[in-house]
Chain A
Amino acid sequence: MSAAGIAAQFTELALAVLLAPLLTGWVNQCRAWLQNKSAPGIFQPYRALAKLFQKEVILAHNASSLFRSAPYLIFGSLALSAAIVPTLGTDLPLNEAADAIALVGLLALARLFIALAGMDVGTAFGTLGARREMMVGFLAEPALLMVFFTASLISHSTSLSTIVETIAHRELVIYPSMAFAGVAFVMVSLAENARIPIDNPATHLELTMIHEAMVLEYSGRHLALIEWAASLKLFVHMCIGLALFFPFGIAGGGDWVGLVLALPALLAKLAVGGAALALIEMLSAKMRIFRAPEFLGTAFLLAVLAMLVHVMLEG
């Protein structure tokens, strides 16, 4: 744990929290460009958040204290997960507190609380969203875990920093199992972040939505925190993808120069990633909710296959 590491930790956390809405804005902008429309600008999510924070919270009569505290808990868990993923440097002090499995558990914790919050007021939409979200969760979470397992088998460690160090700083080796894991990870990320083809983030048709249905009863600062948490989740997923598959540019331990250079590298990679996400969303159609288990089942089995390919070809 060096001074550079501590600096990297704080910068990463601040960067994630502050830049997550920008990433969402950028994805929307790219999507608009691809569809030949004009977008409201990449800073629009910030304006939306500012507007929501100033508004009053309107709570249903039977909303419990769990409902009121859930947005803070969700935001806190996702902020912690953003702090664990190495985006700028690998020498993070929190690295020894949580590894890849704990990261998956943390994302599951956020999902549990948002599902419970959705069920709290007792509307049809809330429970519908909670049920669908948990369905996506029980298939996506094992797939994500298996992707991490593949990376762990390659680097002989479940600690994210060690994984990044192994893949980035050793000599360049092409890992075929990571090809499988990459496809599985993209499918899982699309599902977890409520993107097409699983869910449409722009829809307000209740029968087709998952995430929006759960947060229907939230307003004001609570809704702002949940929207922010959703952008943070997308940011975290993208950073996980970059850390596992394109970790070049992340500084090693105690390297100040590398740390400074890592920032533009990260921004460039996120820009490319956001554009790629917009392209994928453009080219796919939203699938029926009953096809979602098949989609996720394929992702899960691809992740398992990645582990097998590792044992076969690289073991």
Chain B
Amino acid sequence: MLQHFGPQVINLLAALLLLLAFAMLSQRRILSLINLFAAQGFVLFLSTALVAALTDQKHLYVSAAVTLVLKVILLPWILHRLIRRLNVKWDVETLINIPTTMLVGILLVILAFNLAAPISQLAGTVTRSTLGIALASMLLSFMMMITRSKAVPQVIGFLSMENGLFFAATAAVYGMPMVVELGVALDVLVAALILGIFVFEIRERFDTLDTRHLEKLKEH
């Protein structure tokens, strides 16, 4: 029964991931963004655990546990604390309005799926169509980084890009070597550290987290 329902549930989780990516795109409040990011981490945990059960790869259980601890518990907690310290709970203003963003998002989804289609043909798993969705959610997170003007949502966008990548790795090709995973996770951690320092510097310099103020650093 697991073999029959497993791939279907993975497809469902892929759809949920896409839904969460769109929800993050259309969300105005930063608190809700963090909660959605935690939800994305939870979906990732479920799908990794399911893939581990389906393919019987022990190291994926470990990876699922790590995902749960890091992305569902630790990172959201750090972000919540950051928000409270920086006092940035206000509504997020976007560079282009939300319906247009979502429309562009839909076009990106079509593009991503068609780009991933030839690669999906090569993969041997039943859930290969999720590769397109994972690529789409990465592109959507990237777009979220572009259209937000405050620093914290941009950081969240970067982190959710990595979520998309992780999902692509586990669901579409049933896991990647542990070494690669650890390498990617380390990259993300270092990047988050640097972004954290960056955020504090901006705050110190401009007394606001609006990244449009960085334009003042131009030569003239």
Contacts and interface: CB of A to CB of B under 8 A. Distances in A.
Interface of A: 173-174, 176-177, 179-180, 183, 293-294, 297-298, 301-302, 304-305, 308-309, 312-314
A304 B106 contact: yes
A312 B113 contact: yes
A297 B102 contact: yes
Contacts of A298: 26, 98-99, 102
B13 to A, nearest CB: 8
Contacts of A313: 11, 14-15, 129-130, 133
A297 B132 contact: no
Interface stretch (B16-24, B33-41, B66-74, B80-88): B16-24
Give chain A's interface secondary structure class: helix
A261 B8 CA distance: 30
Contacts of A312: 113, 129, 132-133
A294 B16 CA distance: 21
A305 B109 contact: yes
A309 B106 CA distance: 10
B133 A183 contact: no
Contact of A297 (B98, B110, B113): B98
Q: Which of A294, A297, A313, A314 has the most CB of B within 10 A?
A: A313
Given A180-B19, A294-B99, A308 B11 contact: no
Interface string B23-63: 00010000000000000000000000000000000000000
Contacts of B26: 294, 298
B137 to A, nearest CB: 12
Contact of A174 (B12, B18, B19, B109): B12
B155 interface: no
B92 interface: no
Nearest to B100: A297
A170 to B, nearest CB: 14
A173 B98 CA distance: 33
Closest A-B pairs by Cβ, 5 of them: A176-B15, A297-B99, A174-B8, A301-B102, A176-B12
A248 to B, nearest CB: 17
23 contacts: A173-B8, A174-B5, A174-B8, A176-B11, A176-B12, A176-B16, A179-B12, A179-B15, A293-B99, A294-B98, A298-B102, A301-B99, A301-B102, A301-B105, A302-B22, A304-B106, A305-B19, A308-B110, A308-B113, A309-B18, A309-B133, A312-B129, A313-B133
A180 B113 CA distance: 17
A304 B104 CA distance: 13
Nearest to A304: B106
A306 to B, nearest CB: 9
A298 B18 CA distance: 14
A312 B136 CA distance: 12
Contacts of B106: 301, 304-305, 308
Contacts of A308: 106, 109-110, 113
Nearest to A298: B26
Nearest to A302: B22
B53 to A, nearest CB: 17
Contacts of B109: 305, 308
B22 A305 contact: yes
Given A179-B19, A180-B19, A312-B129, A174 B102 contact: no
A297 to B, nearest CB: 4
Contacts of B98: 294, 297-298
Interface in B118-143: 129-130, 132-133
Contacts of A176: 11-12, 14-16
Nearest to B99: A297
B133 A174 contact: no
B179 interface: no
A64 to B, nearest CB: 38
A179 B20 CA distance: 12
Contacts of A294: 26, 98-99
Contacts of A173: 8
Contacts of B99: 293-294, 297-298, 301
A305 B12 contact: no
A179 B133 CA distance: 15
Given A173-B8, A177-B15, A179-B16, 18 more contacts: A174-B8, A174-B11, A174-B12, A176-B14, A176-B16, A179-B12, A183-B19, A294-B98, A294-B99, A297-B102, A298-B102, A305-B18, A305-B19, A305-B22, A308-B113, A312-B113, A312-B132, A313-B11
B163 to A, nearest CB: 18
Contacts of B105: 301
A51 B98 CA distance: 47
A201 B91 CA distance: 28
B173 interface: no
